[in-house]
């Protein structure tokens, strides 16, 4: 009121401008949060962000582990069901929440299933008081549709199917068995794939197939 010399209309207009500005900012925050969630949900890695009050963020793979009972939120803490790793995980999260540069690995043991590989990271100041918990399931194939490889590298449909099998670690014999084609046919396709990807080493081609944005399909 004092700044507007008693003119109430000027005060109302200023409040409305501030409200509209705040509304635009909140809308922008909401859009960025939805975009981050959508991106994280496409990852095969489980990602939790844990703050002092509990889990702040969990992607689709993380929620799958929670449904399986491997990880769970208990009284504001993220815990694992396996007794062997419970203390390691708890200590690692506390260290990461304190800040600094923290990278602590741990292993989760499941009944009759391969072990899960985990890593706890600090946010290094980006989100004070929070820790990032990442878990990889070695049995989960990073499924990239063959069509993605075809579009990106100019492969034929047959080459795309071979690339898809190479990306999940199959040998030439295993690719041949999976696709019901001859081993020599597979080798011919591999040579063409390497040429189109600009490398002469299969290991480099596989590395290109299993890393980067292509994993998002």
* Same domain, yes or no: 51 and 115: yes
* Backbone Cα Rg of the chain: 25
State the DSSP code for 59. Answer: -
What integer pLDDT is reported at residue 141 of this predicted model? Answer: 58
Burial of 88 (0-12, 13-18, 19+ CB in 10 A): middle
> In terms of C-beta density within 10 A (0-12 exposed, 13-18 middle, 19 or more buried), how is residue 217 classed?
exposed
Instruction: Tell me how many domains the chain contains.
Output: 3
Residue corresponding to tokens 């109430």? 8
Q: pLDDT category, 1, cuts 50, 70, 90?
A: very low
Q: Are residues 57 and 116 in the same domain?
A: yes
- Among residues 118, 136, 154, the one where a domain terminates is 136
Same domain, 63 and 30: no
- Do 163 and 208 belong together in one domain? yes
How many CB atoms are located within 10 Å of the residue 70 CB? 21
Same domain, 85 and 49: yes
Q: What is the pTM of this model?
A: 0.63
Q: Are residues 115 and 81 in the same domain?
A: yes
Q: Answer yes or no: is 55 within a domain.
A: yes
Beta bridge partners of 216: none
**Residue 199 sits in which domain range?**
146-216
- Which residues, 6 or more positions from 181, have their beta carbon under 8 angstroms from its beta carbon? none
How do residues 49-100 score in pLDDT, each as one tens digit?
Answer: 999 889 999 999 999 999 988 899 888 889 988 767 788 899 999 999 998 8
104, 85: one domain: yes
Q: How does residue 101 score in pLDDT terms, banded at 50, 70 and 90?
A: confident
Look up tokens 């579009």; give the residue.
151
132 occurs within a structural domain: yes
In a domain, 141, yes or no: no
Q: Looking at the structure, do residues 28 and 48 belong to the same domain, yes or no?
A: no
Neighbouring C-beta atoms of residue 205, cutoff 10 Å: 22
Asked if residue 101 and residue 26 are part of one domain, the reply reads: no
CATH number at residue 182: 1.10.10.10
């Amino acid at each position: 009121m004092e700044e507007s010399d008693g003119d109430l209309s000027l005060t109302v207009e200023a409040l409305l401008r501030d409200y509209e500005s705040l509304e635009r900012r909140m809308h922008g925050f909401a859009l960025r949060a939805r975009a981050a969630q959508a991106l994280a949900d496409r990852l095969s890695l489980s990602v939790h962000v844990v703050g002092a009050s509990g889990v702040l963020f969990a992607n689709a793979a993380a929620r799958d582990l929670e449904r399986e009972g491997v990880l769970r939120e208990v009284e504001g803490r993220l815990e694992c069901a396996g007794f062997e790793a419970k203390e390691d995980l708890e200590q690692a999260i506390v260290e990461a929440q304190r800040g600094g540069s923290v990278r602590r690995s741990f292993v989760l043991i499941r009944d009759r299933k391969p072990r899960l590989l985990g890593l706890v990271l600090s946010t290094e100041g980006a989100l004070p008081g929070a820790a990032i918990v990442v878990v990889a399931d070695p049995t989960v194939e990073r499924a990239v549709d063959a069509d993605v490889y075809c579009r990106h590298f100019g492969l034929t449909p047959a080459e795309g199917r071979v690339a898809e099998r190479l990306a999940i670690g199959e040998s030439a014999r295993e690719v041949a068995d999976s696709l019901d084609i001859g081993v020599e046919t597979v080798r011919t396709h591999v040579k063409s794939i390497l040429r189109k990807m600009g490398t002469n080493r299969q290991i480099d081609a596989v590395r290109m197939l299993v890393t980067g944005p292509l994993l998002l399909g």
